[in-house]
Each structure stands twice: as structure tokens, then as C-alpha cells.
Amino acid sequence: MTRRTFAQVSAAGAAAQTAKPEQILMLVYPGMTLLDLIGPQQVFGYLMGVEVSLVAKSKDPVTSDTGVRVLPDKTFAEAPLAPDILFVPGGGRGTVALMSDTATLEFLASRGKNARYVTSVCSGSLVLGAAGLLRGYKATSHWAVREVLPSLGAELVNARVVEDRNRITAGGITSGIDFGLKLAARLRGDDYARALELTLEYDPQPPFRSGTPEKAPPNITAQARQMYAPLVKAAHASAARARQSWHPQP
């Protein structure tokens, strides 16, 4: 990092600290995938001048899909009405169930209409879609379920991170760090995000290079698609139920 870059990064951080803290709401719910949440949260935690809150229906511990428990900071009622960032992580069956959870969808719709950025990682975009927040926007999701997005009014894009106006959605699980860094660049500038990337030593070198259906051996991809088939079917059903509850789009 050059002196000039360091000065720019320091200035951005100092300016953020003196301004009113930006409010980041990160939804947590039973069955979520922890890395969907923690990847972006780690990046947000290194930003100066933000207040990151884990939000849920209640403050009871929330159990992730691997059994790790997370303690929410705020309930829906306590969350600010106009957050700077609204974020939803993904998961498996817990996420599909959330697509039909009226209280959660109403919370997301109410905060999403006033949020500066509406965001997700992995299948969290399906929950945003079920809340009616992706109609007319380009979006992505985990490769196994992204085919559901068009039925929720979104324009599907096969990319690791998709940005469309104030909607930012990311692909499966590990893309949460990519998403976090891109959003950090929007909030604090490219050099600040570069410094965070260096701090995280984020330099992926996957040992098998089979992280997408296009790169994995055909037999591995076929097995994975077969494994996910029941989840995809359930997601389509939840999407159909969500559409029935939508109000006409303004």
C-alpha cells in the first residue's frame, strides 16, 4: 500500500467515524447457512462508522444449519425503519420455509422499501424475492435454486455477485466475502475495500476447482443436482405461495 493509498483509506475511515453510524440489519433465522452470514459480517465488522445488528423475530438463540447458535441483537420491532443495508443470508429447508413466513416477509418488505441497499447471499435472494423486493431487478442465487428467481419477478443472471441499482445479490455461500467487499467499495471506495481484502488475505485457491456446475466433473454435478431436486421443488412451491400474497407493484 502506497502512502497515498494509506492516506485515502485513513481519510475514508475517519470520515465514517465522525458521521452518523450507518445501520446494517442482518436477518438471522433457524436453518440459515452460517457462512452466508459470517462472511459479509466479517467484512462489515472491519468497516468504521457502522452499526451491525443481527435481527430476528425474538432474541432467542437461532440455530444454523450446522448447529451453531447465533444470538440476535434486535427483534423486528426494534429494528430501524430505514436501514442503510438490509441483508438476508441463505440456507436450505429453513430458507424455503422462511419464504412462506408472513411476519418475516412483512418485515423485509417494510424495511426494504426504505433501505439504501437491499442485499443477500446464496438462497437469501429467494426470501427477498418472496417479499416482492426483486421484481424487475437482476439477481442471482446459489446455483442449485437460482432457477426459481424468474418466478419471483427477478431477471436471473449467472454471476458471483450481481448489482442492479440498490439491489446486490450474491451466489452460493463463499461468495459472501466477494459481496461484502463490493459493498464496502460502494460505501468507502475501492482503496478501502482493497485494504480490507488484504487484511482478510482473501486470495482463493480452491484445491479441486469444482465450485460451479460448469467446472465440476459432469458426474459430480449430476449427483449434486439430484440431491438438491427436492429442495428446488419445495422452493418453487414456496415461490408460488408468495406470489399469491403480493400487492400490485407500484
- What is the full per-residue pLDDT of the chain (250 aa) written as tens digits? 554 554 456 556 556 565 799 999 999 999 999 999 999 999 999 999 999 999 999 999 999 999 999 999 999 999 999 999 999 999 999 999 999 999 999 999 999 999 999 999 999 999 999 999 999 999 999 999 999 999 999 999 999 999 999 999 999 999 999 999 999 999 999 999 999 999 999 999 999 999 999 999 999 999 999 999 999 999 999 999 999 988 776 5
7 in helix, strand or coil? helix
Task: Tell whether 156 is covered by a domain.
Answer: yes
Print the domain residue range for 154.
Answer: 3-245
Taking alpha carbons only, the member of 114, 55, 119, 56 closest to residue 86 is: 119
Cβ 34 vs Cβ 64: under 8 Å: yes
**218: Cβ contacts below 8 Å, ≥ 6 apart:** none
Residue 214's domain is classified under what CATH number?
3.40.50.880
> What does the pLDDT look like over 3-40, one tens digit per residue?
455 445 655 655 656 579 999 999 999 999 999 999 99
Phi-psi region of 116 (alpha: psi -120 to 50; beta: other; left: phi over 0): alpha
Is residue 25 within 8 A of residue 80, CB to CB? The reply is yes
Which among 9, 54, 96, 122 is annotated as catalytic?
122
Q: How many other C-beta atoms can be found within 10 angstroms of the C-beta atom of residue 77?
A: 8
Domain-located, residue 53: yes
29: in domain: yes
Residue 239 lies in a domain: yes
Q: Note the pTM of the prediction, 2 decimals.
A: 0.93
Asked whether residue 35 is domain-assigned, the answer is: yes
Q: Which residues contact 143 (CB under 8 A, 6 or more apart)?
A: 158, 171, 172, 212, 213
Predicted pLDDT of residue 6: 44
Residue 77 maps to a domain: yes
Residue 107: C-alpha distances to residues 43, 146, 221 (Å): 24, 23, 36
211: which DSSP letter? -
Instruction: Give the total number of structural domains in the chain.
Output: 1
Residue 250 maps to a domain: no
Please say if 122 is a catalytic residue: yes
